[in-house]
């Protein structure tokens, strides 16, 4: 099986935050460049190249169930190798569940890019593992994606959310939490 290379793609360098560089999400990195020599000016500089960049790759690059998908810069979204987790709480019983979410960093210039049929198929495959989708446009704006097989209406559900800050991303509005909880439980009945 042939391996993949980033080539001229550097979409992750714009869309994802890099804490050690104080680089926010959806912000071009100071070291980003567009060159056939590589898209990072400090890739070979051990003093400047961030550790988090060294240990990270998108799921397209690692072929993590993405064999049929296109390079991120062509489809305008990046599937993060690291998941997020969402705490879902039933206000009546106090019961909590932790949901895994695959993070999809979406270029705000193409806000509907997450509706790519190949990505939807990918999310349906994740749904079989009870993993939902979390589309991120920046550090604050996101949309939860619930696949048809995870809800009783058997349709794609998109729940926009605006968290007040990065640390509160898992504490979503009660209505959203309740909806998620009910949909997952009804699916089990
Ligand atoms: S988004 Fe993926 S393919 Fe594009 S530069 Fe980043 S790691 Fe490489
Ligand atoms: S340091 Fe290099 S690899 Fe890391 S975000 Fe910036 S340009 Fe990309």
Task: Give, using CA atoms, the residue closest to atom 5 of ligand 2.
Answer: 13
- Residues with Cβ within 8 Å of residue 146, at least 6 apart in sequence: 132, 133, 156, 157, 158, 159, 180, 183
> Does residue 76 belong to any structural domain of this protein?
yes
- The two tokens of residue 18 are 């890099």
Distance of CA 121 from the midpoint of ligand 2 (Å): 30
For 128-171, the pLDDT digits (tens) are: 998 999 999 998 899 989 899 887 778 898 888 764 443 344 44
- Residues with Cβ within 8 Å of residue 35, at least 6 apart in sequence: none
Give the SS3 label for residue 176: helix
**pLDDT given at position 139:** 87
> Does residue 52 belong to any structural domain of this protein?
no
Nearest CA among 148, 133, 77 for reference residue 108: 77
Average pLDDT score over residue span 77-83: 96
> Does residue 114 belong to any structural domain of this protein?
yes
Task: Specify the number of domains making up the chain.
Answer: 1
Q: Does the pLDDT of residue 174 top 80, yes or no?
A: no
> Does residue 141 belong to any structural domain of this protein?
yes
> Does residue 30 belong to any structural domain of this protein?
no
**pLDDT given at position 184:** 60
**61 within ligand 2 shell (Cβ under 6 A):** no
Distance of CA 32 from the midpoint of ligand 2 (Å): 6
> Does residue 157 belong to any structural domain of this protein?
yes
pTM of the model: 0.86
> Does residue 51 belong to any structural domain of this protein?
no
> Does residue 62 belong to any structural domain of this protein?
yes
Range of the domain at 175: 58-188
pLDDT above 90: percentage of residues in the chain: 61
């Amino acid at each position: 099986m042939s391996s993949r290379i980033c080539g001229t793609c550097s979409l992750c360098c714009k869309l994802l935050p890099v804490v050690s560089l104080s680089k926010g999400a959806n912000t071009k990195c100071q070291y980003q460049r567009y060159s056939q020599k590589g898209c990072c000016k400090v890739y070979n500089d051990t003093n400047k190249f961030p550790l988090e960049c060294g240990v990270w790759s998108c799921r397209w690059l690692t072929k993590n169930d993405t064999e049929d998908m296109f390079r991120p810069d062509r489809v305008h979204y990046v599937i993060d190798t690291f998941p997020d987790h969402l705490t879902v709480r039933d206000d009546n019983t106090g019961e909590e569940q932790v949901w895994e979410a695959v993070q999809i960093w979406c270029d705000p210039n193409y806000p509907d890019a997450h509706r790519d049929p190949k990505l939807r198929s990918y999310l349906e495959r994740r749904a079989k593992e009870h993993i939902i989708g979390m589309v991120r446009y920046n550090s604050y704006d996101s949309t939860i994606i619930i696949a048809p097989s995870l809800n009783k209406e058997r349709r794609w559900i998109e729940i926009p959310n605006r968290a007040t800050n990065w640390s509160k991303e898992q504490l979503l509005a009660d209505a959203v939490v309740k909806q998620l909880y009910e949909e997952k439980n009804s699916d089990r009945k």
